[in-house]
A and B are shown apart, each in its own frame.
Chain A
């Protein structure tokens, strides 16, 4: 727990944007671990297992039944200007998470892991239980989206109305 609760909470918070909900998810994850963790046979997979469990619990809490569609890796617009250091300096963690909430929901979890943890794409794919190509596609598209949102924020000092995602 010492090693993982912080990262788990941050992942949960990036998904829920609510402290209470993130705390509940983190606790629930450790509860599942305490009751089912012994089923894990490879000790090196503990961290991946915990993050995967948290994501499961998040999806359960959202009562999401439909599986996300597979999205093929497609061309992304790499010409969107990077978020300037000036804009970045205006941001805090909450603002970045607000921006994350404005990208398509299916991009949010992979994007959170992309920024939060040192996971390889293969590990992110294992956690989210989707093919690695899908993970990369979602992160590529999600990164483009969050960049647009942050640039808009930098231009206007606020997030564009009506762009709030289902978060």
Chain B
């Protein structure tokens, strides 16, 4: 590799975004050894960061979250699985977004360093989002045993333990979901108070920062309450429409 080749490759390099991309590794190593290329790269990086900051500073209309909610309401009229509670939840999320958007610490959301998307924190976020977004049941069943059997037949996690409180709820069915190509069993349940509850089960191995606690840890997230724990070779993540006490009653 010579200087020209290194520059050609590094022309596409974005600091903080492409650091793990192997196509840049050799050229980056070359730049470390070559002061002229290093200086050139520093200028590229500074320009990239400056322009990125300008673009990311584009003002977002304050009323946009409300307009999106309206779009969601329009969708609500034609989608059978969207329930009033979901819209209410969405409304609460929207209001939270609107408030959040004017808070000074919003800056934390801008220009943030890329995060690994395969750790437990990402899993939590995606699963809450998935539950709130709406889904179609792959398995419609009112029996936990049937549901487990369906997961087993399809090769999805099935050797899980359902907490005693959860086992008392009405079963709606389940989804054979994937997350980053990993199989996730999703159990969908309904409490007598008409609050929905989801239990996600994923293999613990390979899930970085998976909870080490066997006792469920409860935390609020995006207008839901959640509980997370690991047991044996499985990690569990419960999402519920309800308060802390309700979640505790399920565990």
Contact = CB atoms under 8 A, between A and B. Distances in A.
Contacts of B105: none
Interface residues of A, number: 55
Contacts, number: 162
Interface in B63-118: 64-65, 67-68, 70-72, 74-76, 78-79, 81-82, 90, 93-94, 96-97, 100-101, 109, 112, 114, 117
A26 interface: yes
A119 B14 CA distance: 10
Interface in A130-167: 136, 139-140, 143, 146-147
Contacts of B178: 41-44
Interface string A1-45: 111011001100110000100010011101101110111111110
A1 B81 contact: no
Given A28-B71, A42-B178, A115-B51, A143 B56 contact: no
A9 B64 contact: yes
B12 A121 contact: yes
Contacts of B70: 27
Nearest to A46: B129
Given A27-B67, A31-B74, A46-B133, A78 B55 contact: no
B107 to A, nearest CB: 12
B81 A115 contact: no
Given A34-B75, A43-B129, A115 B55 contact: yes
B11 A96 contact: no
Contact of A3 (B47, B67, B125, B180): B125
Given A5-B64, A38-B136, A10 B8 contact: no
A120 B133 CA distance: 25
Contact of B134 (A13, A38, A120, A140): A38
B101 A6 contact: yes
B251 interface: no
Interface in A75-96: 75-76, 78, 82-83, 85, 88, 91-93, 95-96
Interface of A: 1-3, 5-6, 9-10, 13-14, 19, 23, 26-28, 30-31, 33-35, 37-44, 46, 75-76, 78, 82-83, 85, 88, 91-93, 95-97, 112, 114-116, 118-121, 136, 139-140, 143, 146-147
Interface of B: 7-8, 11-12, 14, 16-18, 21, 40, 43-44, 46-48, 50-52, 54-61, 64-65, 67-68, 70-72, 74-76, 78-79, 81-82, 90, 93-94, 96-97, 100-101, 109, 112, 114, 117, 122, 125-127, 129-130, 133-136, 177-181, 184, 222
9 contacts: A2-B96, A5-B68, A5-B97, A31-B74, A34-B134, A38-B135, A44-B179, A78-B11, A119-B17
